[in-house]
C-alpha cells in the first residue's frame, strides 16, 4: 500500500508550532518505540534504553521551566506528547502522562522553591516519578486510605502499602499520600516526596496485567519509612487538595492517552482494509467497512476536540473540572469501541497476537477504570451540572 492512513487530526485546532511538535514526537514514537511494542507487551517491561531516550527527547519534563533544565512547555504540549506516543504504544504514553500531568504538575504547584531546585533538574533529565494514592481499600473512595504517618524529631515516619502504582518499577521519586489519623477523614491527609533510597521503603509485587503491559504497576511498601521534614509536599493536612486538583488535570492526560490509542487502532484498521482482499477486491471497497471506518473516525474527531478543549481551558486558567471529567468518560468509551471495531475489521486476524489491534483492545479497557472510574466521572459531571451538594 502506497499511502499511510491516520485518523483526522483537527489540525485547525493546532498552531504550526504545535503541529510540528506533535509530528516530531509521532515520528520518534514510530521509529524508536514501534519496533519494540510486541516484545514489550509480551515481556511486560520497557525496552532497554527507551526511558533514557524519552528523557533525551525532553518528553519527561515538558512543563519544567528552562532554568531547571526542562522544556518550558505548556500543559497542552504535554497532552500532545501523550497523544502522539500513545498512537504507537499506550503503555509508554502512560509513563509520560504520569510524569508530566500528575507528578510534575503537583510539585510545580505545591512544591517549595527548594523542592523545585532539588527535583526539577532530575525529573527533567533522569528521574522517573510515581504518584502513590491508591490502596487495597482506597480506590474510588480515594480518601479512605490507611497508610499512616507520624512526626519524628527529624521529619515523618510512614507505614502502609500502596497498590496499583504506575511507573513504580522505574521511579526514583514517589509522591505518597498518607494520613495522620483515619478518623480525621480527608483533613488528616498529607503528601510526601519519598525517594526510592529512603530507609524503610521498597517496591513490592509487580502486577500481571490485561493491557498496557509495558507500563509497570506495582505495590509499594512503607515499613517505618523515614522522610525528612523538607520532603513534605505543600502544607500538612492539605494532601487531599493536592490529590483532587492534580487528578483533575490527570484525567485530561488519560483522555489524551486513550485518544492516541483510538487513532492508532483506526490507522491499523484502515491500512488493513486496503490490504485484505475478499471476493476479489480489498475489503475497503465494501460499504459496510467504509461506514465502520467513517463512524470510528467521527467518534475520534469528537474525542479529540474534547481532549483539546479541556487542555486549552486548563492552560487558560479557566475552570475545566467538568470538561476534564467529560473528556475522561467519553474518550474511554470511544477508545474501547474503536479498538473493538478494529478487531472486527481484521476478522480472525484481529483475534491473534500476531496483529496489533488485539493488544490495543486489551489496552483500552483500563481507560474506564484508572484515574477515576466511569461512574465517578458521571458523578462529577452530574454534581457540577445540577449543582448538587456534597455529603
Backbone angles phi, psi at 68, to 5 degrees: -105, 10
- From 83, 263, 299, 371, active-site residue: 371
Pairing of the two strands 217-228 and 201-206: antiparallel
Q: Which residue has the cell 459496510?
A: 288
Q: Establish whether 32 is a catalytic residue.
A: no
**Any idea how long the chain is?**
391
Active site residues: 371
Amino acid at each position: 500500500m502506497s499511502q499511510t492512513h491516520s485518523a483526522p487530526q483537527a489540525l485547525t485546532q493546532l498552531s504550526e508550532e504545535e503541529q510540528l511538535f506533535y509530528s516530531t514526537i509521532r515520528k520518534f514514537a514510530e521509529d524508536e518505540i514501534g519496533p519494540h511494542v510486541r516484545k514489550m507487551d509480551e515481556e511486560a517491561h520497557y525496552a532497554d534504553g527507551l526511558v533514557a531516550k524519552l528523557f533525551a527527547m525532553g518528553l519527561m519534563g515538558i512543563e519544567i521551566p528552562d532554568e531547571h533544565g526542562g522544556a518550558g512547555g505548556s500543559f497542552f504540549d504535554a497532552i500532545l506528547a501523550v497523544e502522539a506516543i500513545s498512537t504507537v504504544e499506550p503503555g509508554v504514553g502512560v509513563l509520560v502522562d504520569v510524569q508530566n500531568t500528575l507528578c510534575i504538575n503537583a510539585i510545580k504547584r505545591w512544591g517549595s522553591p527548594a523542592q523545585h531546585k532539588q527535583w526539577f533538574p532530575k525529573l527533567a533529565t533522569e528521574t522517573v516519578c510515581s504518584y502513590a494514592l491508591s490502596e487495597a481499600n482506597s480506590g474510588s473512595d480515594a480518601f479512605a486510605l490507611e497508610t499512616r504517618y507520624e512526626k519524628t524529631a527529624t521529619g515523618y515516619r510512614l507505614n502502609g502499602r500502596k497498590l496499583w502504582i504506575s511507573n513504580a518499577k522505574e521511579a526514583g521519586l514517589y509522591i505518597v499520600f498518607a494520613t495522620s489519623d483515619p478518623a480525621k477523614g480527608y483533613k488528616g491527609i498529607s503528601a510526601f516526596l519519598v525517594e526510592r533510597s529512603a530507609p524503610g521503603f521498597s517496591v513490592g509485587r509487580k502486577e500481571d496485567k490485561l493491557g498496557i503491559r509495558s507500563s509497570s504497576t506495582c505495590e509499594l511498601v512503607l515499613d517505618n519509612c523515614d522522610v525528612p521534614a523538607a520532603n513534605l509536599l505543600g502544607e500538612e493536612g492539605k494532601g487531599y487538595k493536592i490529590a483532587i486538583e492534580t487528578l483533575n488535570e490527570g484525567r485530561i492526560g488519560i483522555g489524551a492517552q486513550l485518544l492516541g490509542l483510538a487513532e492508532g487502532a483506526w490507522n491499523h484498521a484502515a491500512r488493513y482494509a486496503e490490504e485484505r482482499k475478499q471476493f476479489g477486491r480489498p475489503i475497503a471497497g465494501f460499504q459496510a467497512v467504509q461506514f465502520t471506518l467513517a463512524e470510528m473516525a467521527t467518534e475520534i474527531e469528537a474525542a479529540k476536540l474534547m481532549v483539546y478543549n479541556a487542555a486549552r481551558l486548563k492552560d487558560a486558567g479557566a475552570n475545566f473540572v467538568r470538561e476534564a471529567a467529560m473528556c475522561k468518560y467519553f474518550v474511554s468509551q470511544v477508545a474501547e469501541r474503536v479498538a473493538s471495531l478494529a478487531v472486527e475489521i481484521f476478522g480472525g486476524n484481529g483475534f491473534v497476537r500476531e496483529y496489533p489491534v488485539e493488544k490495543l483492545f486489551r489496552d483500552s479497557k483500563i481507560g474506564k477504570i484508572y484515574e477515576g472510574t466511569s461512574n465517578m466521572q458521571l458523578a462529577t459531571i452530574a454534581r457540577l451540572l445540577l449543582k448538587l451538594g456534597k455529603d
